[in-house]
Structure 1
Amino acid sequence: MRIAIIGAGNMGGAIACGLVQGRKAEKREVIVANPHNEKLQALQARFPEIQVTNDNKEAARGADIIIVAVKPWKVSEVLKPIHPQRPQILVSLAAGVTMEQLAQYVDPEMPIFRIIPNTAIAVRASMTLVCGRNATEEQSQMLLDIFNEMGLAMMVKEEQLEAATSLSSCGIAFVLKYVQAAIQAGIEMGISPRNSMCMVAQTLTGAASILLEQDTHPSVEIDKVTTPGGITIKGLNELEHAGFTSAIIRALKASR
């Protein structure tokens, strides 16, 4: 399976690195195209087997999957000259560019996927959203398998993408904002910045692991650490007095 990635920016480069560290693609079958050499050279320095080029047409020629990892306003400029055709599969990372719009630049009957990773794809821990058009179940599963090696991938309907993006892509910034605030509290209470960050980050990792690996719910886990008259309930009530839950809901809805 030959995979072409057009664009070696943060997302394109992270996907290339994830592919060659996974089991779904041979390193020598991954080719990355980018107009400038600096990022391509950095990729090859880490993974010499990756093929690189400045020519999008060369990258797309003979590729089974073409991953377009460019800014939304660059999509037509990239796709029109190469005009992907069946049996190739097109995968677009361009936020806001619908599958109907993508179909204008390619064989409209070919399988088209839109994917929305988040920045944790750089450490193979992304929440990646996937939606497809003209795709078989096998092709959809193949895309899920590829991106599950870089975190967790989930199929959603295209009309759900905006809301899901708020939860997973914008959401990572909201989570980090909590981490930043917690670090500041830790410092005020006498803990070093580095130790505060490690404590909070590992606490988040633990909380996420509980939810992902056990058949449970946040309310159940909160109850386990909320002793009547204890310190946790005092802190939780302070969060609610400050409008914590409402602020999170409003932030997510505002980021659609």
Structure 2
Amino acid sequence: MNIGFIGTGNMGSILVEGFIEGKAVNPSNIYITNRTKVKAEALQQKFPSMHVCDEASKVIEKCHLIFICVKPHDIYPLLEKHQNELTTEKCLVSITSPISVDQLEQLLPCSCIRAIPSITNRALSGVSLLTFGKNCDSYWERKLKELFSFISTPIDIDQNITRVASDIVSCGPAFFSYLTQRFIDGAVAETEIDQTTATILAGEMLIGLGELLKKGYYTLPTLQEKVCVKGGITGEGIGVLEDGIGDIFEKLFQATHSKFNEDLEIVAKQFS
């Protein structure tokens, strides 16, 4: 089966590379296009048997499964232009959170799915979030779950938790990357450790923490209990975090949801 990608920016490229390196898809079965063609051609240099198309209509013509990986505000005009080409036997997968599968189904006769990937999928790990349209053919439901299982743990989610689930799965790596960088910078500023050594140690610590959680040795609370000795050094550090963090994460989710609501309003006007 041929699979198409309209848009090869950050997430589009991550999906293409993940599916190929995870042995889910052969490069010769992938058709890609991008507004800036040189970006698509750069991806093709890694996988020469992949096909680069000049326009979206060619990708749709050649493929039955099409991923649309462009900015949310660019999706409606693109779909409106090509809606007659996205016929009932095809399946469209949108990777953007502000556009619901209901909105896609209002416009298109094909099966519609929303899949929200994570940058962790590039390492064939992490979670991908799937939401299926009411009219989505059961064949495509099975196919998408199978496809994403090569690069992630696919999880079905309801529309009402789209934003918070995306914050945790898709935005989370950036949030915790920022916190880790501040952790490293603090160590370098206050002690004699150098940036390179601190970065290596922090990275290996995060990998080890992930393995502990993945293998089920500890939950997050029990892990803290195991490391924190009463009256010890770790407890002193936790105390500083408790005092300093306050309601920072509540504010984080307020901010992401506020921006999400702005995007929803813009998209709703387009689809109405």
The normalised TM-score by structure 1 is: 0.90
The answer to whether residue 242 in structure 2 is matched with residue 240 in structure 1 is yes
Contact 2:28 2:49 (8 Å CA) reproduced: yes
Q: Which has the higher contact order (CA 8 A, sep 6+)?
A: 2
The answer to whether residue 234 in structure 2 is matched with residue 221 in structure 1 is no
Contact 1:5 1:68 (8 Å CA) reproduced: yes
Deviations 1:107-126 (A, max 9, x none): 0xx32111222333444445
Alignment of 1:101-112 (within 5 A): 101-107=103-109, 110-112=110-112
Residue 9 of structure 1 corresponds to 9
* Aligned-pair Cα RMSD in Å: 2.0
Moved more, 214-223 or 178-187: 214-223
Tell me the SS of whatever aligns to 2:41. Answer: helix
Residue 249 of structure 1 corresponds to 250
Contact 1:171 1:252 (8 Å CA) reproduced: no
C-alpha distance in 1 between matches for 2:250 and 2:211: 23
Contact 1:65 1:89 (8 Å CA) reproduced: yes
Contact 1:166 1:253 (8 Å CA) reproduced: no
**What is the deviation of 1:37?**
2.1
Unpaired runs of at least 5, structure 1: none
Moved more, 62-71 or 113-122: 113-122
State the identity as a percent.
23
4+ long deviations beyond 4 Å: none
**What is the deviation of 1:62?**
4.0
C-alpha distance in 1 between matches for 2:139 and 2:201: 42
Contact 1:91 1:115 (8 Å CA) reproduced: yes
**What is the deviation of 1:218?**
0.6
Task: Say which structure is richer in helix.
Answer: 2
Residue 99 of structure 1 corresponds to 101
Residue type of the partner of 2:221? S
C-alpha distance in 1 between matches for 2:225 and 2:137: 43
Tell me the SS of whatever aligns to 2:106. Answer: coil
Alignment of 1:95-244 (within 5 A): 95-107=97-109, 110-133=110-133, 134-135=135-136, 139-187=140-188, 188-214=190-216, 216-244=218-246
Tell me the matched-pair count: 253
**What is the deviation of 1:137?**
5.3
